[in-house]
Chain A
Amino acid sequence: TQLLEQSPQFLSIQEGENLTVYCNSSSVFSSLQWYRQEPGEGPVLLVTVVTGGEVKKLKRLTFQFGDARKDSSLHITAAQPGDTGLYLCAGAQTGANNLFFGTGTRLTVIP
């Protein structure tokens, strides 16, 4: 069962533009991670959010966890070609020894 839906599925933008990726669910999560994956490599953990309403910033990336801990967003300011990749959200539930991965957003930033 796919618990986390990401939108958009694909996104192609010009360098310097801003974008937002959404991760939505009807389930509550104890924490939510965002990963970025480049072709042929494993996903790399970007951030973990754990508190409803929490906002975390990582340089040009801003992550927000929804108040009800059911959804999250990733905002990138002034996108760079190096931001290109597959962005995955993943939710953890208390006591569960696995992550529920989102459907993924493939971002291409054109120089």
Chain B
Amino acid sequence: DTEVTQTPKHLVMGMTNKKSLKCEQHMGHRAMYWYKQKAKKPPELMFVYSYEKLSINESVPSRFSPECPNSSLLNLHLHALQPEDSALYLCASSQGGSGGLIYNEQFFGPGTRLTVL
């Protein structure tokens, strides 16, 4: 299985809602990532988990809260978002570890298209 899955595919939420995005991989990868991508722009890194521990937080507002329940799952909890948070949210995974870091080939999920009203 070489696939990264993300649910839901689309999400519309109000500014007072609480929702969660989910990501799953079964490639045995030990690094997982959340990216935010605005239209016609490259992905912007939000969080990196390495061996289920948060290793990078790119100064993301606290209304985004990541969680890594186990090595295959990654969640992104959303609360009190703003309309400017509307974007495509991408999850990715990579082998991680000392050998994997040389190449850091990342495999992306299809993304969740989030709209905040």
Contacts and interface: CB of A to CB of B under 8 A. Distances in A.
Given A30-B102, A33-B105, A42-B108, A97 B43 contact: no
B113 to A, nearest CB: 7
A97 B110 contact: no
Nearest to B45: A98
Contacts of A92: 101-104
Interface stretch (B14-22, B48-56, B77-85): B48-56
B45 to A, nearest CB: 6
Given A97-B50, A97-B55, A98-B48, A41 B111 contact: yes
Interface in B1-44: 4, 31, 33, 40-43
B102 A103 contact: no
A43 B43 contact: yes
Contact of B103 (A48, A98, A103): A48
Interface string A16-36: 000000000000001101010
Nearest to A50: B103
Question: By CB atoms of chain A within 10 A, which of B43, B55, B113 has the most?
Answer: B43
Interface residues of B, number: 28
A104 interface: yes
A50 B102 contact: yes
Residue from B40, B109, B113 having most chain A Cβ neighbours under 10 A: B40
A58 B96 CA distance: 25
Contact of A97 (B4, B56, B88, B109): B56
Given A98-B45, A101-B42, A41 B110 contact: yes
Contacts of B110: 40-42
Q: Which 8 A-B pairs have the closest CB atoms?
A: A42-B108, A92-B104, A101-B42, A31-B103, A104-B42, A43-B108, A42-B111, A42-B110
